[in-house]
């Protein structure tokens, strides 16, 4: 039993002492710099509320952001920049924002970075939905960097 305790204490000492020798500021800044690279570039989708009555207007927002110090350029094959897709609980598509819309056939680009950190696109859904949960997916339709994110909304009875 004493031998097991000694081995455990020795193992903990070997593993913990190097971490204790580092100054806390260095540990935090190293972790933060990794977090900055991973968390400050991306896409979010939000709805103005989580719960709606049948027939309520649902306001959806797609935000693409880049708060890093490097510019990122997104290239598009036509004038469309985004899309929204609404699916019911069974995964069936109920609505697609771009359905029935025509987009100019012109190449385009958007650049995000210092000076212009985000682009936001807002749409409204005004259709009638049955009670239940729905998944809304917002899509950035860039040719070279397509991204999407989702949010769930609930329609009450």
Residue spans per domain, the chain: 1-39, 40-155
The per-residue pLDDT for 141 is: 96
Mean pLDDT computed over every residue of the chain: 80
In angstroms, the CA 74 to CA 143 distance is 7
Per-residue confidence (pLDDT) for residue 33, from 0 to 100:
40
Q: Given this model, what pLDDT does residue 155 score?
A: 97
DSSP per-residue string spanning 101-147: -------EEEEEBTTB-EEEEEEEE-S---SEEEEEEEEE--SSS-E
Per-residue pLDDT, 41: 80
Classify residue 113 by its DSSP letter. B
Residue ranges in the chain whose pLDDT is less than 50? 1-37, 39
Q: Domain 40-155, what architecture? A: Sandwich (2.60)
State the pLDDT at residue 108: 94
d(CA 57, CA 134): 14
Model confidence, pTM: 0.73
State the Cα–Cα distance between residues 145 and 83, nearest whole angstrom.
Answer: 14
């Amino acid at each position: 039993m004493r031998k097991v305790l000694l081995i455990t204490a020795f193992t903990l000492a070997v593993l913990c002492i190097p971490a204790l020798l580092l100054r806390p500021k260095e540990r935090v800044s190293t972790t933060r710099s990794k977090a900055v690279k991973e968390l400050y570039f991306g896409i979010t989708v939000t709805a103005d509320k989580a719960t709606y009555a049948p027939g309520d207007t649902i306001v959806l927002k797609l935000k693409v952001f880049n708060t890093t110090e490097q510019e990122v350029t997104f290239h598009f094959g036509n004038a469309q920049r985004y899309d929204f897709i609404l699916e019911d609980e069974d995964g069936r598509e109920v609505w697609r924002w771009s359905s029935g819309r025509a987009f100019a056939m012109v190449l385009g680009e958007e650049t995000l970075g210092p000076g212009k950190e985000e682009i936001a696109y807002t749409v409204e859904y005004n259709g009638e939905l049955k009670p239940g949960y729905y998944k809304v997916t917002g899509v950035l339709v860039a040719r070279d960097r397509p991204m999407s994110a989702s949010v769930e909304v609930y329609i009450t009875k």
